[in-house]
Amino acid sequence: MALLFKRGLAAGAMNIQSKKLLFIYFMFMHIFLLFVLFKSDFTNRVYNFLVKPSSEKSNADMWYFDYMVDHHLSNDSNIPDGAIVFIGDSIMSGLDVSEIAPNSLNYGIGNDTTVGVLKRLSKYKSVKKATAVVLSIGINDTRSRSNGEILRLFSSIIDEIPEQVPFIISSIFQVNDIMRKDLQGVNSRIAELNSGLKQLCASQLKSRCEFVTTGAKITDYNGNMKPEYTIDGVHLTGEANSLWVLRLELCDSTSLI
Highest mean pLDDT among 15-24, 103-112, 244-253: 103-112
Average pLDDT, the chain: 84
Q: Report the pLDDT value the prediction gives residue 132, as an integer from 0 to 100.
A: 96
pLDDT band for position 29 (cuts 50, 70, 90): low
Comparing 48-52, 215-219, 234-238, the range with the smallest average pLDDT is 48-52
Angle between helices 2-39 and 42-50 (to 10 degrees): 70
Identify the residue with better confidence: 255 or 41. 255
CATH number attached to the domain at 81-253: 3.40.50.1110
3-state secondary structure 157-211: HHHHCCCCCCEEEECCCCCCCCCCHHHCCHHHHHHHHHHHHHHHHHCCCCCCEEE
| CA 74 to each of CA 123, 124, 190: distance values in angstroms, whole numbers, following the listed order | 11, 10, 34
Average pLDDT over residues 20-35: 62
Q: Which residues pair with 170 in a beta bridge?
A: 212
Rounded mean pLDDT, 245-251: 87
Looking at per-residue pLDDT, the higher value among 30 and 217 belongs to 217
The whole-number average pLDDT for the span 165-188 is 95
Average pLDDT over residues 203-217: 87
| More confident: 251 or 47 | 251
The candidate with the shortest Cα–Cα distance to 112, out of 171, 57, 150, 167, is: 57
Residues near 106 by beta carbon (within 8 Å), at least 6 away in sequence: 86, 92, 93, 95, 97
Amino acid letter at 16? I
Q: Within 13 Å and on the Cβ side, how many CA atoms surround 68?
A: 23
Q: Please tell me which residue, 28 or 136, carries the higher pLDDT value.
A: 136
What would the mean pLDDT of 109-121 be, rounded to a whole number? Answer: 97
- In this predicted structure, what is the pLDDT of residue 206? 72
**Residues 65-93, mean pLDDT to the nearest whole number:** 96
Per-residue confidence (pLDDT) for residue 48, from 0 to 100: 39
pLDDT of residue 205: 80
Q: How far apart are the first and last CA of the chain?
A: 108
Q: What is the model's pTM?
A: 0.76
Residue 168, pLDDT score: 96
Residue 83 has pLDDT above 70, yes or no: yes
Residue 22 confidence (pLDDT): 64
- Percent of the chain past pLDDT 90, that is, above it, reads 67
Q: Rounded to 5 degrees, what are φ and ψ at 132?
A: -165, 160
pLDDT at 42: 44
Per-residue pLDDT band for 33 (boundaries 50, 70, 90) equals low
Q: What is the pLDDT of residue 250?
A: 81
- Domain chopping of the chain, boundaries: 2-50, 81-253
- Asked whether the predicted pLDDT for residue 51 surpasses 70, the reply is no
